[in-house]
Amino acid sequence: MLYIVLSFNFIIPIIDIENTIKRIKNKKEANNSILNKVKKVRIEKLNSREKRLINRDLTRSPKKQNKRLLFENNLSISKRILQRFLKEKDYSINVSTKKRLLNAKKLKLEIPTLKIIKK
């Protein structure tokens, strides 16, 4: 067995050095192969024609439910796929806020400075 003497107390076998070099080379090759791999991308289940259909339908009548959109355009996709597409196109849902019921008595208690005008 061959040894390399680096200093008085430091003796290394040549096999260890060769193994270290092999390990470093393998590590670099593994890193390069990982970098060259193509990342997995979500499979598009909507083609361009279906996307145009949905866009046209929503521009004509924007107050449509997802289920109705799928039914009227004969799309065989899930609601979740449709929601993901709408999110990509920056469509948003307008949620109406519920208004409080105010009668004359409650109004006087809440805002004493406000005048009530009868028509």
pLDDT at position 13 is 79
| pTM strictly above 0.75 | no
pLDDT at position 113 is 58
Whether residue 116 is predicted with pLDDT greater than 60 in this model: the reply is no
* Sign of the alpha-carbon torsion through 79, 82, 83, 84: positive
What HEC string does 7-75 produce? CCCCEEEHHHHHHHHHHHHHHHHHHHHHHHCCCCCCCCCCCHHHHHHHHHHHHHCCCCCHHHHHHHCCC
pLDDT at position 52 is 92
Whether residue 114 is predicted with pLDDT greater than 60 in this model: the reply is no
Report, as an integer, the average pLDDT of 73-99: 85
pLDDT at position 11 is 75
Q: Encode pLDDT of 23-67 as tens digits.
A: 888 887 777 665 566 667 778 888 999 999 999 999 998 888 889
Q: Encode pLDDT of 39-48 as tens digits.
A: 677 788 889 9
d(Cα 73, Cα 57) in Å, to the nearest integer?
A: 8
